Structure formats: C-alpha cells, structure tokens
C-alpha cells in the first residue's frame, strides 16, 4: 500500500481543472436607495395603521372609546390621503374596513385619490396589529414593510414614501433603522439562472422614510447603517445560494482576493501544498478527494496606530465547506441536496469583511478603536467522496500537534475550523516544514485577543434551538453578551449554550488524543467542546453554530427561502463596535 501513495498523489496533481462560472454577488441592495425625508412629489405613500384606528369623528359614539390621540391620528391620515375629513357614511365605512386591515402586518389596502389641485395620490396602507403606546417590535415593522414593498412592486412604483409610524414605543431612530433594514432585504431573489424570467415589473428604485421630525442627521445615519449592514447580508446570501459547480475553494479564494484589493486588506492564501507544509493536516484531509483541494485565506486590516499604540485584535474564522457530501459517511437523499449552503460561515465572514471595508472607506474608523487589527479567515474545502477521501476512524495530526480520530467524516467542519483557529493563534506548527510567506507572517503576529468562529456546524443545534436561532458558546461572559446584543440589533437571534465537563468527557478516545465527535446526544455542545481544545489560554473565544438560521426551507418574515446571510451583519456590528456603525 505504501508504494501506491506516490501514484495517487501524482494523479491528484495532474487532474484537468473544471471550467468555472464566474462567482458574482450584487451587494448594493439591488439598486434600492434609502433616503430620509419627504420624498419625491407624486410618489406612492405607505402608511402604517395602528390597530386602534378611530372609525368615527369626535363626538360620535366611539369617541371616548377611541381617545383624542387616535382621533387626531385619523384626521391627519385622512388629510394626507386626500380623503374628506368629515365623517360621511362612505368615509366611516372605509375606516371600518381599514380597522380590519390594521389588525395584521400582512394585510394591506390601496387608496387612489386626488389632491385639491387634481394630482393623483396613491396611498398603500398596511396593518401593524399595534395600538397607540404599545411596543412596535422589529418583527412587526419588518413584516409590515415587506407587505408594503410587495404592494409597491405590484403597482410598479419607482419612487415611494414610507411614513414612519407615529405610534408605538420605540425611539424614532430605531423605527427608521428597522424600516430601512426590511425594505432592503425583502426584495431579495436568487434567480440568475432562470433563462426565461417572467416580465419583471418596474423595480422600486427609491424609498424615502418620512419622519416628520427635526433630527434628520441621526435618522439618516440610522438608515445608512441599515443599508450598509444589509449589503453584508446580501453578499452572504449570494455566496450561500450559489451552486457547487461555481462555488469551490478556488472560486471563493479568488473572490476574497478581489475583496482584499477593493478594500485595501492584506491577503494571505495557502494552497494544499502550503497547508501541508504548515501542518494544517485536518483541513487538507477534508478536501483531499475533491477536484479543487483545500485552501486557507486570511484578509487582514491594521489600523494606522496599530504599530505604535495597538488595541485589541480580532479574528473571525468562517467554515467554508463549499459542498458537503458527508464524505464516506455519505449524507442520504433529502439532506445532501442543499449542502452547497454548508459554507454559510465563510459567507458570513466575507459579508462581514465587505461591510467592514465599506465602513472604512466611508471614514467610519475612529481614532482610537477597540480593535486595531482585524482578520477574516476562511477555512475552505469540499468534502467529496472518492478513493482519496479520508476514512472513518483515521487518526490525523492536527496543526496544534494533537492527534484526532475522525469519528465521522460528516463531522468535517470542526476539523477545518480547528486547524484554522490553531494557525491564527500559533503560526506554523511545531515540527512542520512551513517556511513560506504565510508562516513568516503568522509567526510575526501575536494570537488574537478575541477569536470568533462561525459555522453551519451541527444538526443537533437545529434540533435544540430551531431554524431561526443560532447557538452561541463562549469562554467569556462579556464577549457573549456583546454578541447577543449585536445580534438583537440585526434581528439575528443568538442563544447561549453550555460546554460542561460531560461534553468534554464525551470526546475521550483510546487510540488518539481526542475523538472528533461525542456520543449520540448534545451534539452541538460536544462539537463546541472539540473546538475549545484549540483555543489558546487567555484568548477570548466564541463559537457561533448557525446551522439552523443560515438556510431556510420556507420564507420567514423578511428572510427568503434558501441562504439567509445570517451572522454577517451581527459580526460586522461587533467588529465595528467603536465605529459609526456600532451596535
């Protein structure tokens, strides 16, 4: 068997490359421009209705029940919509109908009227289910705004005005942020491979958010923040939704290199041979049966003050398994089809890098930031099957030097992450032959103060938390709290989960230093316990298991079916935590 190894390696090195479609993303929110102001004359207007809409005028039977505030709101609504303010039977009947619409953010009604001067007025009214003074939750704003955008698209409105709700408890800047956030993301479609598309309606080009308030700069900043964070989400969605004949370690590496050029990041790329030289044997093993073998990419940004007055350093590591067959522990039909989405962690990392770079170009980096060094690292591989595939129960020597028994080849993501995490903390492995630029660069850089890995790692986390919540494991409570807060701002729910001594004990192995998997229970926790072994002392670490929310089987709120781009915005908000886009 030993004599066959050189022959197999030779065959691996001379394979003909597979032709690639060019990897593309369109992050600029599909051409939609968000403004804060009164909007263009004649633009279609969107009004969010309170559920306690008054249906009769003052002095009528329901006046005391409705209250003066509701009465005043209704009068303003009638005036802006070109309707008579006096309560005629037709007006009362219309308001009674709109009160039914107002009960749900999925309900809407279109009014076509004329102004006094004879100009046409189009008003789209959407419900909220919220009364005056009640909490206007982000999810409610998202649903109502999505409904409004869908109606505006059907009306083929190029320009529109969304009136910020004048009821509910959140601060106006928060309302504006959520409206802009929903308007940007609710129009997303991944349809580039449809050769015969339905005739597209006139695209919605401009959305003005009318706040009727004096604090225009802060409101405009809230809308700009939402727009930029949404770009990161859209980048990640496009990457996750791409198919495996386009997405592979090579094409992702090329895309990341373009991103580095665009934003002035320094880029380090290691191919399979360099990974072997540097001791990243587990990452190599995951990808060794694929046409395009494993790679590692690091994009690095240094603040101008880093060399003189360094602050903290942050490293985000994304799992980038561009297609996961499960390896020789093959995934069954019904599970394997969507495994082009198993690079959701790397997609979120690249989306975060996009937002970070755009913020820097816009001058959002403060003079004394928390993080003066930020690195975005992609552990890239395709978990393919074939004669070269890593075998179950193989024992690999990790970058850290720890031997690992591969308990299941479908638990490949943790192998990729563990080697990448070890490399960013330690550089070339002890005893390795790494002497290239990548080794020299890593040897010169100290371990990061904060290390975050993000991955579509375990089905067990989906079972535990469902499809819309990510699992959060951390060795530092303050770090966990910061990430939860950033997730809340971006409507990306992170829920803390534990790593207990029982989870660590489940990884014990008689033939190697550790097994890669635990038992049949607590799979998300034992996977996190495995990664914990590769965190250096003193490094603040968090692990995000986004297996559930990274992909949707059915649309949910403003999240479409397919790749969601989950975690890109939260990570960007955290990385920019002391900048203008702070969470």
Instruction: Answer for the pair 517, 408: CB distance below 8 angstroms, yes or no.
Output: yes
Q: Is 557 left (phi over 0), alpha (psi -120 to 50) or beta?
A: left
Q: Which of 172, 357, 368 is CA-nearest to residue 259?
A: 357
Q: Is 8 left (phi over 0), alpha (psi -120 to 50) or beta?
A: alpha
In DSSP notation, 51-79 reads TT---S-TTSTTHHHH-HHHHHHHHHHHH
Q: 99, 237, 414, 493: which one is catalytic?
A: 414
Work out whether the CA dihedral 366, 371, 373, 379 comes out positive or negative. negative
* 582 tagged catalytic: no
Instruction: Find the angle CA(149)-CA(152)-CA(154) to the nearest 5 degrees.
Output: 110
Report how far residue 563's alpha carbon sits from residue 467's, in angstroms, rounded to the nearest whole number. Answer: 12
Report how far residue 20's alpha carbon sits from residue 308's, in angstroms, rounded to the nearest whole number. Answer: 44
Q: List the structure tokens of 250.
A: 């090579």
Tokens 């009306």 -> residue: 155
Q: List the structure tokens of 49.
A: 């209705």
Tokens 């386009």 -> residue: 246
Q: Which residues of 156-182 are buried (b: 16+ CB within 10 A; e: fewer)?
A: ebebbbbbbbbbbebebbebbbbbbbb
Q: Which of 131, 213, 210, 142 is CA-nearest to residue 169?
A: 131
Q: How many CA atoms lie within 13 A of 433 on its CB side?
A: 6
User: CB burial class (10 A; 0-12, 13-18, 19+) of residue 539?
Assistant: middle
Q: 30, 76, 331, 582: which one is catalytic?
A: 331
SS3 406: coil
H helix intervals, 102-215:
138-154, 172-185
Q: Which residues contact 488 (CB under 8 A, 6 or more apart)?
A: none
Report how far residue 125's alpha carbon sits from residue 110's, in angstroms, rounded to the nearest whole number. Answer: 6
Q: List the structure tokens of 371.
A: 């993080």
Instruction: Answer for the pair 307, 388: CB distance below 8 angstroms, yes or no.
Output: no
CA dist 316 to 89, 286, 441, 477, Å?
62, 21, 17, 18
Pairing of strands 295-302, 266-270: antiparallel
Instruction: Answer for the pair 14, 8: CB distance below 8 angstroms, yes or no.
Output: no
Instruction: Answer for the pair 573, 490: CB distance below 8 angstroms, yes or no.
Output: yes
CA dist 515 to 57, 289, 502, 507, 527, Å?
73, 22, 14, 5, 10
* 331 tagged catalytic: yes
Rg (CA), the chain: 27
Q: Which residues are catalytic?
A: 331, 414
């Amino acid at each position: 068997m030993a004599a066959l190894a050189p022959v197999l390696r030779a065959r691996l090195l001379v394979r003909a490359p597979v032709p690639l479609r060019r990897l593309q993303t369109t992050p600029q929110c599909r051409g939609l421009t968000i403004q804060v102001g009164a909007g263009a004359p004649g633009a279609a207007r969107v009004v969010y209705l309170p559920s306690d809409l008054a249906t009769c005028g003052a002095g009528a039977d329901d006046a005391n029940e409705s209250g003066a505030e509701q009465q005043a709101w209704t009068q303003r609504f009638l005036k802006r919509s070109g309707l008579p303010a006096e309560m005629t039977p037709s007006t009362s009947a219309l308001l009674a109908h709109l009160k039914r619409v107002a009960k749900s953010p999925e309900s809407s009604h279109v009014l076509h009227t004329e102004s006094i001067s004879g100009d046409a007025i189009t008003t789209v009214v959407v419900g909220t289910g919220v009364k005056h003074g009640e909490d206007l939750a982000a999810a409610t704003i998202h649903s109502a705004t999505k409904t409004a955008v869908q109606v505006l698209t059907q009306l083929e409105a190029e320009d529109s005005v969304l009136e910020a709700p004048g009821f509910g408890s959140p601060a106006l800047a928060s309302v504006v942020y959520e409206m802009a956030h929903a308007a940007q993301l609710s129009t997303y479609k991944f349809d580039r491979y449809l050769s015969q598309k339905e005739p597209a309606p006139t695209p919605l080009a401009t959305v003005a958010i009318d706040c009727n308030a004096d604090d225009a700069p802060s409101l405009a900043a809230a809308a700009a923040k939402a727009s930029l964070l949404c770009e990161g989400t859209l980048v990640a969605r496009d990457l996750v939704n791409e198919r495996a004949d386009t997405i592979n370690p090579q094409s992702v590496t090329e895309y990341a290199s373009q991103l580095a050029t665009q934003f002035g990041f320094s880029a380090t790329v290691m191919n399979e041979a360099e990974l072997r030289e540097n001791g990243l044997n587990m990452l190599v093993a995951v990808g060794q049966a694929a046409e395009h073998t494993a790679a590692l990419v690091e994009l690095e940004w240094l603040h101008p003050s880093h060399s003189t007055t360094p602050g903290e350093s942050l490293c985000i590591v994304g799992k980038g398994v561009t297609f996961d067959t499960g390896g020789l522990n093959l995934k069954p039909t019904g599970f394997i089809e969507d495994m082009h989405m198993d690079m959701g962690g790397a997609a979120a990392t690249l989306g975060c890098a996009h937002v970070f770079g755009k913020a820097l170009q816009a001058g959002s980096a403060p003079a004394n930031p928390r993080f003066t060094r930020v690195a975005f690292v992609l552990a890239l591989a395709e978990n393919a099957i074939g004669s070269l595939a890593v075998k179950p129960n193989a024992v690999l020597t990790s970058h850290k030097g720890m031997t690992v028994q591969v308990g299941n080849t479908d638990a490949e993501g943790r192998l990729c992450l563990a080697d990448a995490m070890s490399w960013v903390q330690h550089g070339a492995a002890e005893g390795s032959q790494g002497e290239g630029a990548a080794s020299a660069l890593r040897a010169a850089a100290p371990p990061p103060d904060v290390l975050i890995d993000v991955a579509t790692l375990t089905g067990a986390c989906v079972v535990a938390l469902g499809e819309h919540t990510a699992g959060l494991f951390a060795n530092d409570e303050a770090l966990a709290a910061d990430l939860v807060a950033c997730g809340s701002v971006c409507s990306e729910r992170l829920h803390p989960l534990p790593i207990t001594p029982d989870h660590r004990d489940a990884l014990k192995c008689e033939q190697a230093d550790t097994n890669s998997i635990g038992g049949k229970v607590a799979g998300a926790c034992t996977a996190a316990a495995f990664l914990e072994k590769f965190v250096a002392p003193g490094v603040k670490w968090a692990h995000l298991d986004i297996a559930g929310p990274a992909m949707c089987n059915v649309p949910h709120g403003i999240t479409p079916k397919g790749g969601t781009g989950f975690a890109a915005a939260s990570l960007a908000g955290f990385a920019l935590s002391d900048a203008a886009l702070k969470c």
